[in-house]
Amino acid sequence: MGVMATANGGRATGTFTVKRGLADMLRGGVIMDVVDAEQAKIAEDAGAVSVMALERVPADIRRDGGVARMSDPALIDGIQQAVTIPVMAKARIGHFAEAQVLQALGVDYIDESEVLTPADEAHHIDKWAFTVPFVCGATNLGEALRRISEGAAMIRSKGEAGTGNIVEAVRHLRAILGDIRKITQADSAELYAWAKELRAPIGLVQEVAETGKLSVPLFCAGGIATPADASLVMQLGAEAVFVGSGIFKSQDPARRARAIVEATTHFEDAEHVAKVSRGLGDAMRGEELSELSERLAERGW
């Protein structure tokens, strides 16, 4: 695995600018989990900025158990042909061969995801070795910076996927953004202690201290089920949202999808969020966290 940027007739592909650039273009938007071409069309029609192709939505992975893996390439092909928006797909944590396959399929973003069963209990994928950009989940600032150091071009909160419960995503966003605020107040000597505590490279910690933000966009995932959930996390500082089970496990996916798109754009306008929230039918049922047998957010290191 060599350097990520390759010259191609004067064109440099796979540069960090190009990788994080696509994340920049997705800001203010909603990325929706879909399991087939039909759902992908519904998502695109509702105004999704991107779709995440997977075999089962997290709620079903949680219910069914077993090993959750990368999707069947035929399924990804079908989704790519059905929509014009970017298509993302998930690889297992550390499973760089799955990521190579997804890159070969021409997916636009790879999610190295805790929703799938991890393939490596010590190492994440070396994401610098790829032309395609990666998004990774994080529960705190240290985890976010470690993923960025490995080449992630977008960070999302992990939340607790498949629960329809926003509490963990809120915890993770507050942890990441709260520590960023603290670091901007630290003096230069304290930054070394922060780097040690966060188990993150000092260079990235210093960059956060200087800029007051991550060097890549921070999106929210894990538990968003309503337009007000989207507004909440956007107001907390997320720059876009992923909705997994929340759409296609609800009573009226097309309307709910559209309402969440509107609420993500107009997150500061409570009247607008109220308007789009009316009469959407039942949201996904959701799970109380204390009743879960397994926390997906604990996967990843």
Token pair of 124 as six digits? 């994440």
Query: What Rg do the C-alpha atoms of the chain give, in angstroms?
Result: 18
Shorter beta-carbon distance to another protein: residue 17 or 251:
17
Do strands 218-219 and 154-157 pair parallel, antiparallel, or not at all (unpaired)?
Answer: parallel
Specify the amino acid at residue 271: E
Choice between 49 and 152, CB closer to another protein = 49
CB nearer another protein, residue 103 or residue 157: 103
Closest by CA position to 244, among listed 225, 230, 260: 225
CB 295 within 8 A of CB 160: yes
Q: Please tell me whether residue 262 binds another protein under the rule CB under 8 A.
A: yes
Name which position in 13, 81, 211, 251 contacts another protein (CB under 8 A).
13
Residue 24 engages another protein in binding (rule: CB under 8 A): yes
Smallest distance from the beta carbon of 50 to another protein, in angstroms? 7
Among 1, 2, 3, 10, binds another protein (CB under 8 A): 10
Q: Which is nearer to another protein, 187 or 271 (CB)?
A: 271
**How far apart (Å, rounded) are the C-alpha atoms in residues 75 and 53?**
8
C-beta closer to another protein: residue 27 or 69: 27
Closest CA to 227 of 185, 191, 255: 255
The three-state secondary structure class of 11 is strand
Using CB under 8 A, which of the segments 43-51, 59-67, 221-229, 243-251 binds another protein? 43-51
Q: Which residue, among 125, 168, 166, has the nearest Cα to 295 in the 3D structure?
A: 168
CB of 295: closest distance to another protein in angstroms?
31
* One of 77, 108, 190, 207 touching another protein (CB under 8 A): 108
* Interface with another protein: number of residues (CB under 8 A): 40
Which tokens in the block code for residue 294?
């397994």
Where in 193-232 is the site for another protein (CB under 8 A)?
none
Q: At what angle do helices 167-185 and 227-236 cross, to 10 degrees?
A: 10
Nearest to 57 by CA among 116, 17, 8: 116
Could you say whether residue 248 binds another protein (CB under 8 A)? no
Please name every residue paired with 7 in a beta bridge, in sequence order, or none if there are none: 12
Look up 275 and say whether it is catalytic: no
The residue (of 229 and 262) whose beta carbon lies closer to another protein is: 262
Query: Which residue's entry shows tokens 């209990």?
Result: 121
Backbone angles phi, psi at 80, to 5 degrees: -60, -35
Tell the smallest beta-carbon distance from residue 153 to another protein (Å).
Answer: 10
Q: Which residue in 90, 127, 158, 249 is the catalytic one? A: 90
Judged by DSSP in three states, 109 sits in strand
Site for another protein in 66-105 (CB under 8 A): 84-86, 103
Which residues are designated catalytic?
Answer: 90
The residues that touch another protein, with contacts defined as CB under 8 A, are 8-15, 17-18, 21-22, 24-29, 44, 46-50, 84-86, 103, 106-109, 131-133, 261-262, 265-266, 269
